[in-house]
């Protein structure tokens, strides 16, 4: 991939590779990532575009951290309703729900202060 900026060395690196595809931007974070195959480096499973810039200034242009956490919670809950139910999944769901709680609290606090959707800290 010619536009790879940085490899992300977190995740299931035995099977997939994660790459940041853009320079760090608004808020100091990357906003575009790809997930692809380790065995077939030209195979990209998905590209994720995160919100880049304050919504009130840039409009909605990508997903949010909370969206991906919600997807993983839903997926693990599905496993918990089938043959792959286990304690580890239950703990992971709890921790992800906690992460979502804190991110939602941050958003609620920003709304209360009237700065949600802006670059104001």
Domain ranges of the chain: 1-62, 64-113
- What percent of the chain has a predicted confidence (pLDDT) above 90? 77
The whole-number average pLDDT for the span 93-104 is 98
pLDDT at 27: 84
**Cα→Cα distances 108→17, 35, 39, 48, 112, Å:** 34, 31, 43, 25, 6
Assess whether pLDDT exceeds 60 at residue 15. yes
């Amino acid at each position: 991939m010619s536009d790879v900026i940085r490899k992300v060395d977190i995740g299931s690196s035995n099977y997939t590779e994660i790459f940041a595809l853009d320079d760090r931007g608004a808020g100091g974070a990357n906003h575009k990532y790809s997930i692809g195959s380790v065995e077939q480096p030209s195979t990209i499973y998905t590209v994720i575009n995160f919100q880049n810039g304050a919504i009130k200034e840039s409009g909605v242009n990508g997903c949010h951290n909370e969206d991906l956490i919600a997807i993983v919670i839903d997926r693990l809950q599905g496993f918990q309703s089938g043959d792959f139910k286990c304690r580890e999944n239950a703990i992971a769901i709890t921790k992800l729900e906690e992460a979502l709680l804190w991110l939602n609290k941050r958003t609620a606090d920003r709304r209360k202060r009237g700065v949600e959707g802006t670059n104001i800290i």
